[in-house]
């Protein structure tokens, strides 16, 4: 029997095991990720159970087959898809079900299939979903075989042949998690528990819980809905019950209000979460139950003062993130997102825009847990294609926008991290027309209907050209969002001060930073982007390099500068401007080497300290105060080999410093790992970083040696990368050339035990490191 009584959300599994260790869970959920077969071909009849699959590859999902391929300028997805392969992929899974499940409702849930997916069960076509980013499910109940010796076959076709389908990398395949769910015929509806906190302060909160109950039986059901609120430690705070009659083949919504005294409010500093446990009871029997996480908080957008959370006014310091994870493509283990969000926190980021599509549900769980605010976005296009002639969602928007918007909002609306929805990015449809107005208002109205607790925006594109600031369109928006052109957005608010405004996409330059800092009415801005992302670049580049961080998390000049602007921690960073760099472009991976190429250089220090003093080989080059506009402090330096050091002081006391030293020839590899223990789970990854140092322990930023990894024990090397946006080396490999002296390997466990990773390179001292794999 394939079913196991697992917890509802794998992110919350450990917590829920503690909360309900002694309780029987009625709703049965099976992780359906393992033991699939895959083939990348267009095979007629592949959905039929009798098809010979002996040549198919065995694998587990999530799986992105595009990232496994080779870069090629001739690949059809071109610059948008990062020149990686496209086509058709088939997945199949055989499974059996005990006879005891024959009276249940059996549903398969996909968190995302890229793209144009078709799904069959035992040869019966269940349906098609064009949008690769959306979560969806199908009822299998009427088409299943139950009992000993009887099998079932689920088949999934992912069709990515029509290209270019996007302006950025999509991936291909069943690239997010899959579950099989068994419920009673009377059950909680899909995403049927909706939790809000309309009254929330430090003294009291009202938790409003609306539960949709579906009765798919042939007789009326007399039910009791019992909802308990539990704190972060699993303690039941309060329980309430409501009785309800549900007619056959009908659904009802049950509203309950639960008062919580002295709640711990969710915020970006202390993101404390609560849970609800909802039970559906007939007689004395629990027939369905569900756990949902939520946070108690209040927020608002104000036209004059911007954003408020729990009565505190501050800026949304945001970054946009695409859904790929670099070397892992679109199938992103949770550890990758955790690593990236930690890096963004260090840079001072407190908000994420999901550019430009629904994300994996566990990504939003992480934002809840780590204290990020979220702009949750639906689409990159409506009916008009973007300027590269893409053949993507614009082909399906008219038929599918309502269903896809509904499913995203219903799925996501309990996340306390989400404070605003966006229904479009740089939409090219004509917004200076009644049709354009209607397209927007229809979407905004639907979101309000499904979730009246949050405002709606969209990322306007060249508003002066589209006339949305003069034709009344902006006045229809809950919050006016605009990409770039900050001066236009500031001018709009100054002309129409009742409008709420936010920067939905912004560059890293100081003028855009000041537009946020110096205007109280600007609620926030979202930098393009948080991390470099695959695609949207011209060959031989294969990655867009506008991120605060590169693909493996290396700091760049814009992240160092942003940290000096947005972080509350004292910060000092030394960078050097290259001769051919553009205005404001600085080289931050510099160490004072290659002295035969220059004697003089312009040095900048990014710092939020009151005073910075610069030293060359111990000699002071002078101190400089913090400029009023927070720009970098500049020195013209005549170099000598040795060291350069910047010291930051607040009120005369040293609070931060950075020292760079001349690098000698490469001598050795040094390995480090972000954690010494990982779980035996697809989502848990250890990041092993190999850096090339000289004999004195200084990083060699120009080293590009080929580093080879070997692994032994209870694990695998899942991917390797170096962050180079023009490298065409394979990610699914065990070697890669260093870039700026660095290579990273993603390591996963495949059994309980120990792992040893070794790194070698010709002419360098080798290195090894160990990791333990635990349950």
> Any idea which residues carry the catalytic annotation?
426, 505
Structure tokens at 559: 């992240």
Structure tokens at 360: 């994996």
What letter would DSSP give residue 627?
A: P
Please enumerate in sequence order all residues whose Cβ is within 8 A of that of 87, keeping only pairs 6 or more positions apart, or say none: 40, 42, 160, 161, 172
CA 752 to centroid of chain Cα atoms: 28
> Which of 428, 501, 491, 425 is closest to 459 using CA atoms?
425
> Which of 617, 591, 575 is closest to 698 using CA atoms?
591
Three-class SS of residue 212?
strand
Positions of E strands within 175-234: 178-183, 186-200, 204-215, 221-230
> Which of 649, 638, 640 is closest to 613 using CA atoms?
649
CA 378 to centroid of chain Cα atoms: 14
For 494-514, give the DSSP string: HHSTTS-EEEEEE-SSHHHHH
- Determine contact, residues 241/255, Cβ cutoff 8 Å: no
Structure tokens at 1: 């029997």
Structure tokens at 750: 């495949």
> Beta strand pairing status for 186-200 and 686-693?
unpaired
Between helices 334-346 and 361-370, what is the axis angle to 10°? Answer: 40
Three-class SS of residue 705?
coil
Residue found by looking up tokens 């369905």 in the block: 288
Q: Alpha-carbon distance 193 to 451, whole Å?
A: 12
Residue 619, judged by CB atoms within 10 A of its CB (0-12, 13-18, 19+), counts as: exposed
Structure tokens at 335: 């550890």
As beta bridge partners, residue 203 has: none
As beta bridge partners, residue 772 has: 677, 754
Q: Alpha-carbon distance 202 to 196, whole Å?
A: 16
Structure tokens at 368: 């809840």
Q: Please, what sign has the CA dihedral across residues 397, 403, 406, 411?
A: negative
CA 143 to centroid of chain Cα atoms: 35
Q: Alpha-carbon distance 330 to 743, whole Å?
A: 21
For residue 8, the number of C-alpha atoms closer than 13 Å in the C-beta half-sphere is: 21
Q: Please, what sign has the CA dihedral across residues 20, 23, 28, 32?
A: positive
Q: Alpha-carbon distance 422 to 318, whole Å?
A: 14
Q: Alpha-carbon distance 678 to 334, whole Å?
A: 12
Q: How many CB atoms lie within 10 A of CB 695?
A: 11
What letter would DSSP give residue 394?
A: G
The secondary structure of 56-115, three-state, reads CEEECCCCCCCCCCCCCCCCCCCCCCCCCCCCEEEEEEEECCCHHHCCCEEEEEECCCEC
Cis before 445? omega within 30:
no
Structure tokens at 144: 């299943």
């Amino acid at each position: 029997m394939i079913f196991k009584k697992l917890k509802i959300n794998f992110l919350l599994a450990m917590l829920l095991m503690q909360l309900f260790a002694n309780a029987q869970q009625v709703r049965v959920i099976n992780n359906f990720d393992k033991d699939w077969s895959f083939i990348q071909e267009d095979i007629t009849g592949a959905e039929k159970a009798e098809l010979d699959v002996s040549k198919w590859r065995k694998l587990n999902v999530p799986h992105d087959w595009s990232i496994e391929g080779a870069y090629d300028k001739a690949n059809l997805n071109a610059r948008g898809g990062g020149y990686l392969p496209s086509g058709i992929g088939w997945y199949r899974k055989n499974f059996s079900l005990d006879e005891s499940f024959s009276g249940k409702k059996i549903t398969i849930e996909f968190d995302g299939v890229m793209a144009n997916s078709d799904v069959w069960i035992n040869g019966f076509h269940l349906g098609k979903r064009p949008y690769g980013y959306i979560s969806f499910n199908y009822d299998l109940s009427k088409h299943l075989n139950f009992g000993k010796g009887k099998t079932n076959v689920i088949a999934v076709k992912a069709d990515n042949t029509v290209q270019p389908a996007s302006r950025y990398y999509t991936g291909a395949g069943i690239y997010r998690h899959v579950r099989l769910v068994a419920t009673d015929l009377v059950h909680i509806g899909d995403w049927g528990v909706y939790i809000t906190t309309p009254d929330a302060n430090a003294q009291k909160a009202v938790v409003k819980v609306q539960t949709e109950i579906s009765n798919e039986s042939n007789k009326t059901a007399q039910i009791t809905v019992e909802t308990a609120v539990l704190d972060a430690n699993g303690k039941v705070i309060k329980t309430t019950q409501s009785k309800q009659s549900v007619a056959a083949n009908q659904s009802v919504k049950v509203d309950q209000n639960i008062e919580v005294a002295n709640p711990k409010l969710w915020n970006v500093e202390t993101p404390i979460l609560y849970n609800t446990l909802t039970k559906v009871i007939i007689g004395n029997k629990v027939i369905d139950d569900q756990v949902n996480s939520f946070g108690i908080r209040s927020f608002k957008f104000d036209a004059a003062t911007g954003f408020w959370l729990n009565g505190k006014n501050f800026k949304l310091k945001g970054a946009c993130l695409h859904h790929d994870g670099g070397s892992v493509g679109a199938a992103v283990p949770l550890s990758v997102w955790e690593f990236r969000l930690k890096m963004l926190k260090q840079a001072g980021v407190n908000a994420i825009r999901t550019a430009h599509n629904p994300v994996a549900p566990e990504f939003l769980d992480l934002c809840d847990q780590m204290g990020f605010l979220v702009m949750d976005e639906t689409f990159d296009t409506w009916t008009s294609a973007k300027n590269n002639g893409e053949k993507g969602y614009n082909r399906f928007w008219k038929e599918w926008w309502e269903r896809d918007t509904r499913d995203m909002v219903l799925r996501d609306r309990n996340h306390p991290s989400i404070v605003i929805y966006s229904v479009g990015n740089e939409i090219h449809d004509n917004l200076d027309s009644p049709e354009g107005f209607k397209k927007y208002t229809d979407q905004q109205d639907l979101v309000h209907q499904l979730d009246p607790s949050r405002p709606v925006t969209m990322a306007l594109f060249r508003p002066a050209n589209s006339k949305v600031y003069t034709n009344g369109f902006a006045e229809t928006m809950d919050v006016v969002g605009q990409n770039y052109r900050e001066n236009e957005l500031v001018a709009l608010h100054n002309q129409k001060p009742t409008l709420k405004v936010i920067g939905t996409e912004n560059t890293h330059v100081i003028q855009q930073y000041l537009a946020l800092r110096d205007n109280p009415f600007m609620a926030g801005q979202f930098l393009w982007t948080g991390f470099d992302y695959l695609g949207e670049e011209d060959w031989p580049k294969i990655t867009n390099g506008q991120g605060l961080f590169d693909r493996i998390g290396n700091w760049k000049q814009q992240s160092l500068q942003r940290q000096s602007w947005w972080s509350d921690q004292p910060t000092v960073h030394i960078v050097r401007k290259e001769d051919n760099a553009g205005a404001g472009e600085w080289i931050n991976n510099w160490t004072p080497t290659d002295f035969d190429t220059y004697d003089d250089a312009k040095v900048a220090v990014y710092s939020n300290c009151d005073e910075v003093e610069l030293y060359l080989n111990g000699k002071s080059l002078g101190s400089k105060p913090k400029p009023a506009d927070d720009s970098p402090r500049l020195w013209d330096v005549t170099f000598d080999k040795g060291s350069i050091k910047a010291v930051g002081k607040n009120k005369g006391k040293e609070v931060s410093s950075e020292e760079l030293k001349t690098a000698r020839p490469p001598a050795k590899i040094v390995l480090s790992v972000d954690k010494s223990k990982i779980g035996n789970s697809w989502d848990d990854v250890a990041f092993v970083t190999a850096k090339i140092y000289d004999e004195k322990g200084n990083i060699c930023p120009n080293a590009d040696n080929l580093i080879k990894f070997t692994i032994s024990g209870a694990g695998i090397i899942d991917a390797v990368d170096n962050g180079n946006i023009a490298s065409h080396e394979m990610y699914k490999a065990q070697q890669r050339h260093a870039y700026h002296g660095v290579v990273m390997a993603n390591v996963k466990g495949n059994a309980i035990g120990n792992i040893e990773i070794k790194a070698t390179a010709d002419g360098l001292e080798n290195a090894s490191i160990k990791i333990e794999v635990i349950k």
